[in-house]
Structure 1
C-alpha cells in the first residue's frame, strides 16, 4: 500500500510537468510565426527573371509603395501594412488579463524590388487572400508610477482613451505596433505570374510585370522575419 502511494506521489508531478512541456511545445510549433516559416519551405527562391508561370515561388527584396503609403500611428513611419493594438490590464492577481480596446490592421498593394527588377503584390482583405506575420516594431506601456509618454498620449487621445481612472491613477495600458515599412526587407511567396501592364508604372518601361498571386488552395505569404530571408545558400 505504501509503495502504491509513493508511486502515485512521483507519477502525478511528472504527468503535470509533461503536460506543461507538451502544451508549451504545441503553442510554439503551431503558433503563427512557426506556421508561416514551415509553409514557406514548400516554395523555391527565384530571381524575378526566372519566374515561371504558375510555379510556387518566393522572393526576398525591398518594399516599394504602389500608392500613398500609410503612416503608422505611433512611430509615424511610412508603411504598406500595419497591425496595432491598444490593451488595458483588467482584474488583479491571478484573475488579471489584457483586454483589447482598439485593434486595427490594414494593407495595400506594393512592389518588391530585387536587383533593379520589381514584382507586384496585391493583397486583398475581403475575402482575405494572404497569410502574414510581421515582427513587433514598437511597444510602449503605462501604469502605476509610469506615466504615458507624450507620443503615447497622442495615440490614446486620438482613440478617445483616457489614460487615468476615476481616482486619477494611471491605467495599466500597453500599445504594440507591427508594420511593413517602405524600404524594409520582406519575403513574399505565392503563385508566379506575368501580367500585362494596362497603365504605365513610373520608372518601369516594360509591357509585362512579374507578380505573385494566390489561388483557391494557396494564399500569399508575407513576412518580414529575418529567418525567412534569402541567403547565399538559397538558390
Structure 2
C-alpha cells in the first residue's frame, strides 16, 4: 500500500511539473514582444498616409528613411535607423547549461516612413522608452572551444571589452545576434497620428504639413520589420 501511494505521489509531482513547464512556455510565448506586436497590429487596418486622422491610433507600412546621419550596426556595419544586438556566453551550473546575456544593446533614432510619395515622421525615445518593437534577427555569429571567433567578431568583442578566451587559453562559447531596420527597408509602424506644420522642406514632398506617429501614456509606438502582417479589422 505504501509502495502504491509513493508511485501515485510521484505521478502527481511529474504531472504538476509538466503542467507548470507548459504554462510557463505559453506565458513566455504569448507575452513575448513578437506576439504582443502582432496582436496590436492585427487590430488595425494598414492606411494611406494622407487618410490618417488626428488623434487616431493608426498603422502604416512603408519605407524607413533617415532624418539625420544613420546609425551603423555594430557587427555588419549596415546603415540603419534602429538596431538591436545581443552577446551571450554559454555557462554551466552543475549538470545544467544555460546562456548568460553579457551585452544587450538597442539604439533607435528619429526616422521618416515613406509610402507612395507621402511621409510620416516617427520619434522613438529610449529614456523613457515610448515604443514596443520586434525586429527580425538576420545576422548571427559564434565561437566555441574548437572554433575561433572571426576577426570581425573579435573586433566586436574587443569593442565591448569582452575576452574571447578563458583563464586557460580556451575559447569561450559565445554567440552574437543582430537585428536592424536598414535604410530603405519596408517596415510597419503604429502610433497616434498628429498633423503638424513642416518647419523644413523635405525633398520630393510638396505639402506644408506632415503627420507624426506618436505615443501616449497608455499607448506606445509599435515598430517592426515583420513581413506580411495580417489584419483582422475590415474597412
| TM-score between both structures, scaled by the size of structure 2 | 0.89
Is the CA contact (8 Å cut-off) linking 1:51 and 1:57 kept in structure 2? Answer: yes
**Residue 221 in structure 1 maps to residue 225 in structure 2:** no
Which residue does 1:126 correspond to in 2?
127
2 CA distance for matches of 1:108 and 1:179? 12
Range moving further from structure 2, 106-115 or 163-172: 163-172
Shift of 1:40: 2.0
Q: Unaligned 5+ residue runs, structure 2? A: none
Range moving further from structure 2, 143-152 or 13-22: 13-22
The 1:150/1:196 distance shift into structure 2, 3 A limit, reads same
Alignment of 1:85-164 (within 5 A): 85-92=86-93, 94-164=95-165
Is the CA contact (8 Å cut-off) linking 1:153 and 1:163 kept in structure 2? Answer: yes
Which residue does 2:196 correspond to in 1?
195
Is the CA contact (8 Å cut-off) linking 1:74 and 1:155 kept in structure 2? Answer: yes
Alignment of 1:164-203 (within 5 A): 164-203=165-204
Shift of 1:103: 2.5
Q: Unaligned 5+ residue runs, structure 1? A: none
Is the CA contact (8 Å cut-off) linking 1:60 and 1:229 kept in structure 2? Answer: no
Which residue does 1:15 correspond to in 2?
16
Shift of 1:230: 7.1
Shift of 1:80: 0.2
Shift of 1:76: 1.2
The 1:128/1:12 distance shift into structure 2, 3 A limit, reads closer
Q: How many pairs does the alignment contain?
A: 234
**Residue 206 in structure 1 maps to residue 207 in structure 2:** yes
Shift of 1:41: 3.1
Which residue does 2:75 correspond to in 1?
74
Shift of 1:153: 1.3
Is the CA contact (8 Å cut-off) linking 1:186 and 1:229 kept in structure 2? Answer: no
CA RMSD of aligned residues (A): 2.3
Is the CA contact (8 Å cut-off) linking 2:144 and 2:174 kept in structure 1? Answer: yes
Shift of 1:124: 1.4
2 CA distance for matches of 1:79 and 1:234? 33
Q: Report the secondary structure of 1:156's partner residue.
A: helix
Range moving further from structure 2, 151-160 or 222-231: 222-231
Is the CA contact (8 Å cut-off) linking 1:72 and 1:82 kept in structure 2? Answer: yes
Shift of 1:69: 0.5
Range moving further from structure 2, 46-55 or 11-20: 11-20
Shift of 1:21: 1.8
> Could you report, residue by residue, the CA deviation over 1:167-190 in whole angstroms, capped at 9, with x for unpaired residues?
221111111111111111111001
| TM-score between both structures, scaled by the size of structure 1 | 0.89
> Could you report, residue by residue, the CA deviation over 1:164-222 in whole angstroms, capped at 9, with x for unpaired residues?
12322111111111111111111100111211001222332210112211122111111
Shift of 1:31: 1.4
The 1:203/1:229 distance shift into structure 2, 3 A limit, reads farther
